[in-house]
Amino acid sequence: MLGLALVLGFRHQAAAQTTERTIFASVLDSAGKPVEQVTPADLVVREDGVQREVLRVTPATDPMQVAVLIDNTAIASSQISNIRDGLTAFVKKLAGQHEISLVTFADRPTLLVEATTAAPALERGIGRVFSQSNAGSYLIDAIDDVAKGFKKRGATRPVIVVVTLEGREFSNTPYQSALERLAEAGATMHAVVLTSGRGPLTQEERDRAIVLDSGTREHGGERHDVLSGMAIPQTLTQIADELLAQQKVTFARPGALIPPKKTTIEAARPGLTVRGALAPAPPAPAPAPGA
């Protein structure tokens, strides 16, 4: 009886405790422009379908860790100039306060520029973006590697931005694994896709389409399909503006023995579009000396 009482007491205590979790959210008006004035009443957060109390909404000023995944495959050769222009515009918006790394994925994922806030280093890296002849895409592998790297480094506000064309995919990573890594890292994902109109033909191409669609939709971002490479700079600038205008949404999570599987955020106010990703859980406090 004493053992049962202790177990029941522990469960009651766990259920009574609450923790605060964070979502970095984009709140957009009907024209797709960021909304500056957002209150807790404007948003609804649910976990496994159960509504949570939104405690605070403040402008997101936490430094971002941004990995830009760049298509440098053979099929991208005619668009390298547009890709460089877009990367330059994106870096000018974010460099200085936010860490940016550049990763190419022709033949294999390759770190072109390590994470840095220094614009000159990033601009030099952009100048080294060239297409590789006879090289195919390993985008799913790159997303998986970057997400694993975010988690290993303990990134607190990770973001993945993909710039790619439609074409052959040769990744070895199952698409399910890449999506799981995104969730584990708590990364927001955006993608700019220059579409060819032919659609995926192989299973690998279908897998990549799933990652680009589900990875953006379920992780706080958006897939931007563009018909011309000339639209890449404008679209990357739009993504940068959205990231800079994000809101930090803090909500209460009741204590539970089993953590929720899915966290969602949506608008409570008509005319708003809201998308966001659950931020990584803060590290557990170190035990007190002698504990």
* Model pLDDT, residue 223: 98
Looking at per-residue pLDDT, the higher value among 200 and 38 belongs to: 38
Residue 144 Ramachandran class (φ > 0 left, ψ -120 to 50 alpha, else beta): alpha
* Model pLDDT, residue 200: 75
Spacing of C-alpha 268 from chain mean position: 23
Mean predicted lDDT score pLDDT of the chain: 91
Q: Is the pLDDT of residue 275 over 60?
A: yes
| Contacts for 69 with CB less than 8 Å, ≥ 6 apart | 103, 104, 105, 139, 142, 143, 146, 160, 161, 162, 163, 164
* Model pLDDT, residue 198: 77
Angle of helix 139-153 relative to helix 203-217, nearest 10 degrees, comes to 40
Strands across the sheet containing 247-254: 54-59, 247-254, 18-28, 273-278
Q: Is the pLDDT of residue 99 over 90?
A: yes
For the residues 2-25, what does the mean pLDDT come to? 61
* Model pLDDT, residue 88: 98
For the residues 10-27, what does the mean pLDDT come to? 74
For the residues 206-235, what does the mean pLDDT come to? 97
Closest CA to 101 of 125, 84, 81, 120: 125
d(CA 144, CA 149): 9
Percent of residues, the chain, with pLDDT higher than 90: 85
